[in-house]
Amino acid sequence: MTRTTAPAAPRQEDQHLHGQTVVVIGGSSGIGLETARQARSLGAEVVLTGRDPARLERAATELQPLTTAAFDATDTARLTAFFADLPAPIDHVMLTAGSPYYVPITELDFARAHRELDEHLWLPLHLARTIIGKVRPGGAMLMVSGTAARRPALGLTLPAALTAALSALTANLALELAPVRVNLIAAGFVDTPLSARLLGDDLDDRRAQLSAALPIRRVVGPADVAALALHLMTNTALTGAVYDVDGGQQLIGT
Ligand SMILES: NC(=O)c1ccc[n+]([C@@H]2O[C@H](COP(=O)([O-])OP(=O)(O)OC[C@H]3O[C@@H](n4cnc5c(N)ncnc54)[C@H](OP(=O)(O)O)[C@@H]3O)[C@@H](O)[C@H]2O)c1
C-alpha cells in the first residue's frame, strides 16, 4: 500500500495577501514603506505614492511595485485621477502621508495650519470617498495618527484637534464605507526618517531615553507599526477602531 502524506496545511501568514493589491499613499518612506515591504513579503502586489520622485524610485527598485505615482496626495484632483487609473478591485489602502505641526498658538502659522488640515482631515475624507467602489468588500482602509496629542500640552492644540477628529472620522467612515473596513493606527514615537527630521541632533538622545524608559525597553520601529497594519488588513473582524502602538509610551507619559 502506498502511503500518502497529507499536504502540509498552508501557513496562514504565507497566504494572507497572496494575489491582493495594497495601495500605500505615502509609501516611499517610514511606516508606509515598511508596510509595503511586509505586504510584498506576504505575496501582495503593492502600489506606492509619494511626492519626491527620487525617493519613490528608490522604493520601487527594492519592492517592484505594480505601479508608482509621484504627486501631492492633498491635491484632490490628482488623487481622484490616480485612483481612476488603477484597476479595481483594490484590496487595501493605507494612508501614511503627512507630518505633524507642533507649535504654541502664539507662533501658529495659519497657512501651515491649513496645510495640516489638508493632510490630516481633508485628505482622509477625500480618500475615503474616492475609494468607494474601488476597494473590495472586506478590504481595509487604514490611517495613521498619534498618541502624543491625546493629553493637553503646550504646542499640541492643532495636533490634538486633528487626533480627535481622525478617531471620529474612523468610526463614522467604518459605517459609511461598510463592508470595507476602516481602522486607525495611533503611534507613539516611531523611529522613521520623519522622526529623524523632527528631532535632528536630538534623535540619539531621544532613542536612548525611550529605550531606557519604555516598558518594552526599546524604541518602536516602522516594522512594529507595519506588522499591526498587516494584521488590520487581514483580520476581517476589525473595523471602526483605533489601535495604539507605542511600546507603552502613554503609560509613562514621556
Ligand atoms: N514617526 C512617528 O513617530 C509618527 C508617530 C505618530 C504618527 N505618525 C504619522 O505617521 C505617518 C507616517 O509617518 P512616517 O514617520 O512614516 O513619515 P515619513 O518617513 O516621512 O514617510 C511619509 C511618507 O509619506 C509621503 N508623503 C508625505 N506627505 C505627502 C503628501 N502630502 N502627499 C504624498 N505623499 C506624502 C512621504 O514621501 P514624500 O515626502 O516624498 O512625499 C513618505 O513616503 C505620518 O502621517 C505621521 O504624522 C508618525
CATH classification of the domain holding 207: 3.40.50.720
Read off the pLDDT of each residue in 19-46 and give the average, rounded to a whole number.
98
- Measured in angstroms, how far is the CA atom of residue 9 from the centroid of ligand 1? 38
Read off the pLDDT of each residue in 51-57 and give the average, rounded to a whole number.
98
- Would you say residue 161 lies in a domain? yes
Q: Which of 23, 33, 55, 96 to mutate for ligand 1's pocket (most ligand atoms within 8 Å of CB)?
A: 96
- Would you say residue 2 lies in a domain? no
Q: Which residues contact 28 (CB under 8 A, 6 or more apart)?
A: 48, 49, 50, 52, 55, 56, 58, 59
Residue ranges lining ligand 1, Cβ < 6 Å? 26-32, 49-52, 55, 72-74, 96-100, 119, 144, 146, 187, 189-190, 192-195
- Total number of domains constituting the chain: 1
- Would you say residue 7 lies in a domain? no
Q: What is the tens place of the pLDDT at every residue in 143-183? A: 999 999 999 999 999 999 999 999 999 999 999 999 999 99
104: cis peptide before it, omega within 30°?
Answer: no
Closest approach atom of ligand 1 to CA 48: 43
**Residue ranges making up the domain that contains 163:** 16-245
Flag whether the pTM goes above 0.75: yes
Closest CA to 28 of 59, 53, 54: 59
- Would you say residue 253 lies in a domain? no
- Would you say residue 86 lies in a domain? yes
Q: Is the CB of residue 50 less than 8 Å from the CB of residue 29?
A: yes
pLDDT band at 88; cut points 50, 70, 90: confident
- Would you say residue 94 lies in a domain? yes
- Measured in angstroms, how far is the CA atom of residue 4 from the centroid of ligand 1? 52
